A and B are shown apart, each in its own frame.
Chain A
Amino acid sequence: MHLPKKRPGSLSESDVTPESVFMNRRRFLRNIGIGLAGAAAGGALLRAATGGFPSTRNPAFSGDGLELTPFELVTSYNNFYEFGTDKESPKTQANKGWKTEPWTLEVGGLVANPMKLDVNDLITRAGGIEERVYRFRCVEAWSMVVPWSGFELSKLIALVEPKAEAKFVKFVTFHDPKNVPGQRTNSIDWPYVEGLTIEEARNPLALLATGLYGKPMPNQNGAPIRLIVPWKYGFKSIKSIVRIEFVSKMPMNTWRDLQPREYGFYANVNPKVDHPRWSQGSERVLGAGVFDSRKETLMFNGYEAEVAHLYTDLDLRKWY
């Protein structure tokens, strides 16, 4: 979005709170508060998909016993190839010129009620957002713990009513090479795509996240709306979604397309199945010092109780 340069603290026309939020006067006032605080902090926090904030933490996902990864690290170490193949560039590159507001999301394919709507309207229709603390494990063997804000993907599924033939859900990221430097290179085949089985998508853990640490999603973390599937490697959790499509056949996903021997469709966190170039048995927790030891990786990233039943008939060594 465009930041007011002349008068820090003032809001431009694009900052006008959507009507859905405006209707709730109390929430509206809080949002303006966040907006002003964000503008005062140099605008870094003023982002799209402000709908629904502040979010309250769902006690079922309070992250008991988990140590949150500091906000500064979560927002400074990002795999987002659209803004550079290294993990340092996205923080700067995603915050100059790339607009995440307004943001339209299209949901279609094999559904009874296809829709195309603003992300803030979607938040309203999904019944608002909540906060959940999840582990996040990258295929590169690093991990973090993040308080995400968002709503269950199953709520969106209920809104569009998939047909019986819909067996998979395909997710597509934006394609905007004019404003997005990585998409002017051919490092990967744009736009980024991902997929889930419909059972996975309906799992209560699957989240459409619109923020973290109680704030709207920073651009480098996939503003304004991204997927979070915490039992899978991070690359499954596609960022900055513009289209969700219900399909009958297993969709291709970007990393599997690039390196099918290294990245699969399921990509469940599994300490027993190594990546060809590194072991998956343990991980580095972000923020750990040079001399700190590694943490053991848990099956399904610690969400075995919630998701193991989805894979009882699947050879996880073959379907990595």
Chain B
Amino acid sequence: MSDDATSRAGLRPATNAGGSETRPTTAASGDAGPKTTPQPLLARILRGKAWLWILIVALAAYPWTRLLSGDPFANANAAQYLLDHAGTVATAFLVAVLSLTPLRVLFPASGIVRALNRHRRLTGVTAFGFAVLHLGYFWLHVGGWSGVLMEIDKPFIWSGLAAWTVLAVLTITSLNAIVRAMGARGWKRLHRAAYLAAALALYHQAAQQKEGYSESLWFFAPLVLLEIARVIRQRRDAARSSAGL
């Protein structure tokens, strides 16, 4: 949810302190310029949106195919099943979109990483899309608004609603007209709130587990490691450039 949106909105991506200058020619300008190196097949496929849309539709349809085929596990607690599935997918897409920046910093030359970075907005908006499904299924699961109100005082629930609200704001402000109105710098600053959404989602995700936090680790540990590696890389690069190397 960042440069992809700003470039589509007709803005040059803002360069922020530390990060973006390690990037070679931006993916956004790569569209127009002549290709100097041939792209590997995988990177070429990943540049298009088709695979991502297929993935999104498949993930949304999968639980329904299990429900409608009469699968006993899925049908045992159908609303809970849909709720859990949508929540898991939303979390995965949120982690994925946040991984894109550190990946780009760490592997600026990778065609695959650059191809994936073309889909920042769609990835982020998909996270919110599944969060919308998740909240809708929750509404059904608890039996409407009265049920939602009964649960809202619990940290487990309001943390999820807070994450949802942040994602809603980030999604609305990813409309081209609003990106343009906000300007690249302001947009970027606002969209750092994605990290807040991730922290809230991490708490929400960990709190639904009855024992231990292994599932949360699987989701969030890779992101944390990527962010640590990114900070180390950016510090080193900054030190080098200030030393005039």
Q: Which residues does A use to contact B, with CB under 8 Å?
A: 70, 72-73, 75-77, 81, 85, 87-88, 91, 142, 186-188, 258-259, 274, 276-279, 281-282, 284, 286-291, 293-294
Contact = CB atoms under 8 A, between A and B. Distances in A.
Contacts of A88: 73
Given A186-B212, A277-B207, A281-B150, 18 more contacts: A76-B73, A85-B210, A87-B73, A88-B73, A142-B76, A142-B80, A187-B214, A188-B211, A258-B210, A276-B154, A276-B156, A277-B154, A277-B157, A277-B208, A278-B151, A279-B147, A288-B79, A294-B142
Nearest to A71: B72
A286 B140 CA distance: 15
Interface residues of B, number: 28
Contacts of A282: 143, 147
Contacts of A91: 73
Nearest to B144: A293
* Prevailing SS type, chain B contact patch: helix
A69 to B, nearest CB: 8
Contacts of A278: 151, 154, 156
B73 A279 contact: no
B214 A284 contact: no
Given A187-B212, A287-B75, A277 B82 contact: no
Task: Provide the main secondary structure of the chain A interface.
Answer: loop
Top-5 shortest CB links A-B? A77-B76, A76-B72, A72-B72, A277-B156, A73-B76
Nearest to A74: B76
A173 B161 CA distance: 39
B211 A76 contact: no
B147 A142 contact: no
A286 B72 CA distance: 10
A152 to B, nearest CB: 29
